[in-house]
Chains A and B, each alone.
Chain A
């Protein structure tokens, strides 16, 4: 065990613990942009710098392993000065359109500027010019709001494995880009939106949810995605009894299957929920016309028809084609119904196509 003093408090941590974690254990709230517990460390935003006695420079706590007898201060004058200046530098390149930004309320840049009282930038000069049109239907890329934390790059590579984006150019010309600076649709992007999930600011947002409500306006309702049998946890954004978006809950307690990671369908394919064309009750066709029916009536109707067919033409005249949109357990029941109740092996599954 290593002994450290953090903000005057003595604390013991196992060897290998990073300073950020030790500071958090000591109750310190350390601001971070590039740090993400599920991604490789970058150590690049420098917001998490802390002052360690005897060290000439401030240390980025997310990438500094604890050492015995370190005396750490997390909100010293030097650290807050550095954080304020970093925030001012980021504001100087940022388009600062908080009035219409989707991210309001969940934006780390906004939160930290509030926390450190940064109203405007002493370094305001030329702005960044990274805006681009990307006509894809899902992901809004507004790099004039980007703070270059590279979490999107790492999530794309490490969570999704798509490697669709990386950093292009150098210095303050550096920006997040697909290969040859093209559109996402022409890249290896699969539109999973993991980049949106990890973006700490408003640079990456969902086009599908755009203008439908911001974080303080909607409730978060956890549910399970119905698109396939994986069983990912979704966080429905519900405003006025309407689903206005899907976000990730990255807490493994609530999202044990996917830890917030989703695919394009789960994250963006929810507009059917309030579609007027959506079936909300079973329909039975009579004389060429559909009429609404109760579940009991529809089930009885289907069972009777199946029974009749089986009696007339035998069990092998019936086949079941089941779906990947239901769970493994439901698929198990489907084959059981065919084999045990109907008496046929005519059962197949869409995933085999």
Chain B
């Protein structure tokens, strides 16, 4: 695909991701070698300079995150967030299935930066086949000597969406209920087993070998200046090409839908696209001419998030879709904080009432109030983001609500 710019997925389907030797033949583990030859601080500075920002959704500068880790006489951990629970997102699975060794190398590079010898990959519970593959990949990398004394263990989730939140993920690895912790302290200071921990997304780690091999300046020169590099997007919904793509981050959203996606399926008209997974905002036609990078998406009140792109054609009932989404959040709320536990429940009730044509404007007002309080006061990102689909559709597709109101 000419429109793509493949960095992480350059050798997709050309090498066996399980085999370290295959990866080494195409230049793999050179970045780790370089990282280990560098001074720790210089390594972190290099990553900072590359401008690499978190690919899981929060968009935090990776090198900056690492620099918060205190190096004292205690264990430190590198944790890979491979929970990938955001509906419509499957980029991390693709990265692992196509280039698992890059993830392992990236984690070891992070290990070199924070002087950690132990990594954990927290894998989505619905991916048992990937866990198997990752374990083989780790064994191959260990056997080849490429990872050196850096060990990686794969832990499996059990299907909770909230465990994609980094502190809930840590709780889960520790064997507790998957509930987020309050922050601060951030994981960089007190994470896994209360030790300093870096949690990064699969894609973030997988970028690192290429940054180390080709240099920070090379990476910083790709895509959008403030969110450089490439991004793996996963297309779902009413598009012709519902598959994955790797593009530079200054790629336009309209091109994602019409060029990569091949346009709306069956020649129908476009209605909306939801980017970043189920907690993402619904984006109307008039905002399609936006770059997909973190800041450009934020500027239109949306979020790049995990890079999921869910396209809806003209026949889709927005209120019905949002009702289903509210049911999802009701199901996935962990139940720890009041605004989310109770709020997602009542959001679903009100959405169902609206969807059934039994609601009045007063219900919409209550929904907006509830949404505002959840955003303002919920403990973690789940509760704060759960009302975003509601708010964004009320803003851009208000008429779909109005016609169902009595």
Contacts and interface: CB of A to CB of B under 8 A. Distances in A.
Interface stretch (B245-253, B341-349, B396-404): B341-349
B384 interface: yes
A42 B181 CA distance: 8
A90 B349 contact: no
B377 interface: yes
A89 B369 CA distance: 12
Interface in A127-181: 147-148, 166-167, 169-174
Nearest to A86: B338
B177 interface: yes
B377 A82 contact: yes
Contact of B182 (A63, A147, A148, A171): A63
A58 B383 CA distance: 13
Interface of A: 33, 41-47, 49, 57-58, 60, 63, 65, 78, 81-82, 85-86, 89-90, 92-93, 122-123, 125-126, 147-148, 166-167, 169-174
Given A82-B373, A86-B338, A89-B342, A46 B366 contact: no
Interface stretch (B130-138, B259-267, B327-335): B327-335
Given A172-B342, A172-B344, A174-B341, A85 B373 contact: yes
A174 B379 CA distance: 16
27 contacts: A33-B338, A41-B182, A42-B336, A45-B338, A46-B337, A46-B338, A46-B339, A46-B379, A57-B375, A57-B377, A60-B379, A81-B372, A82-B373, A86-B342, A86-B373, A89-B346, A90-B342, A123-B346, A123-B349, A125-B346, A126-B345, A148-B335, A169-B335, A170-B160, A171-B330, A171-B333, A172-B333
B335 A170 contact: yes
Interface residues of B, number: 33
Contacts of B177: 166-167
Contacts of A47: 338
B349 A44 contact: no
Contacts, number: 108
A125 B349 contact: yes
Contact of A172 (B160, B341, B377, B378): B341
Contacts of A166: 177
A123 B348 CA distance: 11
Interface in B359-406: 366, 369-370, 372-373, 375-379, 384
A44 B378 CA distance: 8
B337 A44 contact: yes
Contacts of B331: 170-171
Contacts of A123: 342, 346, 349-350, 366, 370
Contacts of B344: 171-172
